[in-house]
Structure 1
Amino acid sequence: MPLYEYQCEKCGNRFELRQKFSDEPAKECPACGGPVTKLISQSGFALKGGGWYAEGYNGNSKKSDAPACPSGGKCAGCPSAA
């Protein structure tokens, strides 16, 4: 479930709520009962392991340090399995 950040217009209290996409947005501050505004927050993500950037896009010819497939390339997700 996404985490939404709100700020109270009356007291300035900032708080977060974990809500479903289908839930109504919060309308009042849990601290003072004042009206709240939904804030737009930065989301963070990290690219880990090998992948398209490490294996060809960045201009380096080195292979990624990502671990090889334990099945030796015989699993359904391996490119050599096709």
Structure 2
Amino acid sequence: MPLYEYQCKSCENRFEKRQKFSDPAETVCPSCGGEVEKLISQSGFALKGGGWYGDGYSSSNGKPTPPCQGGGGGCAGCPSAA
């Protein structure tokens, strides 16, 4: 279940609530009873190390990258093409 962070508009109390996606958002501060707003927090999800991301989608997947010719044409994502 995701962990959501809320902040009270009256007393500025910040609190977290573990809720299902289908649960309604909190509307009342547990400290003062004031109106709360849901905050956008940094996710706890990070891709680290090897695995499917490092092996399948990274440019460092062990296969050499061909050198850029810089002559224009087919290197749309290449810095030399700009």
Partner of 1:18: 18
Percent identity between matched residues is 70
How far is 1:23 from its partner?
Answer: 0.6
Partner of 2:30: 30
TM-score by length of 2: 0.61
2: CA distance between counterparts of 1:48 and 1:19? 26
How far is 1:44 from its partner?
Answer: 2.6
2:5 is aligned with 1:8: no
Question: For the Cα contact (< 8 Å) 2:47–2:53, is it kept in 1?
Answer: no
2:44 is aligned with 1:41: no
How far is 1:45 from its partner?
Answer: 2.3
Q: Which runs of 5+ in 2 are unaligned?
A: 63-82
1: CA distance between counterparts of 2:2 and 2:26? 14
How far is 1:55 from its partner?
Answer: 4.3
Shift in alpha-carbon separation, 1:33–1:53, aligned structure 2, 3 A: closer
Partner of 1:73: none
Instruction: Give the AA of the match of 1:26.
Output: E
Q: Which runs of 5+ in 1 are unaligned?
A: 62-82
How many residues get paired? Answer: 62
What secondary structure is seen at the aligned counterpart in 2 of 1:7?
A: strand
